[in-house]
Copies of this chain bind each other. A is one copy, B any other.
Amino acid sequence: MQMFDRFRENANIGELVVIQEGVVLGKNVSIGHHTAILGNTRIGDNVTIGSHCIIGVYPGGNANMRKTETTLPPLEIKSNVKIGNHVSIYTGTIISEEAFIGDQASIREKVRIGTNTVIGRGAMVELNTSIGSHCTIQTLAYVTADTTIEDHVFIGPCVSMSNDKYMGAKEFTLRGPYIKEGAKIGNNASLLPAIIIGRNTVVGAGAVVTKNVPDFETVVGNPARKVPDKNTL
């Protein structure tokens, strides 16, 4: 049932917590009330997890949805990670050291989150996606599946991405955006599938990016177009 008695000496565990058999907990872990940690989960030292989280979810789906491998590696939450409340994280994912995962964020299977990266409240990260180190993914941003985000990227609040060019109508290898180091995406911008966002680019708030953006360029508007150099965003 609630198998955490053996963790009591090392951990600060709230009320009505469920920790299933097979969970590995490091030293000095803190877990809020009503959180459930499922079996295939490894949690490092000094990790803080809030209340009402479900950690180590095994993916499901219906006949319309992508099949999942029958076996996934454990969820690994590295040392010094902080996780908020109402968070869900799937198995087969790695959350690197010092990352912060905000309230209501949801992170699917086979995701890698780099060190010191912030995932904002309510942000959704789909499967098969890599997010680098020192990134900020702001509140309510949507990172689609099959996406790559390099280091030091800023994704503003409510940014939206997609990975299916034909929205189910034709065959298309699903591919999300590829966002290079240091890019900054303004709030509520929309990125189309398989777009490449260059290094140190700036995408303006509300821009709709339908083509690749070269390194160091600033784009704004719908569809997004280059801003002349004198222009300030």
Contacts and interface: CB of A to CB of B under 8 A. Distances in A.
Interface of A: 1-2, 14-16, 18, 32-34, 36, 48, 50-52, 54, 57, 60-65, 82, 84-86, 88, 98-100, 103-104, 106, 116, 118, 121-122, 124, 126, 134, 136, 139-140, 142, 144, 154, 156-158, 160-162, 165, 167-169, 184, 186-188, 190, 192, 202, 204-208, 210, 220-223, 233
A36 B15 contact: yes
Contacts of A169: 154, 184
A167 B110 CA distance: 28
A227 to B, nearest CB: 11
A207 B34 CA distance: 41
A220 B224 CA distance: 12
A142 B188 CA distance: 10
A124 B222 CA distance: 26
B161 A157 contact: yes
B118 A104 contact: no
A165 B124 CA distance: 24
A21 to B, nearest CB: 12
B62 A162 contact: no
A134 B142 CA distance: 23
Nearest to A3: B15
A34 to B, nearest CB: 6
Contacts of A223: 220-221
B85 A85 contact: no
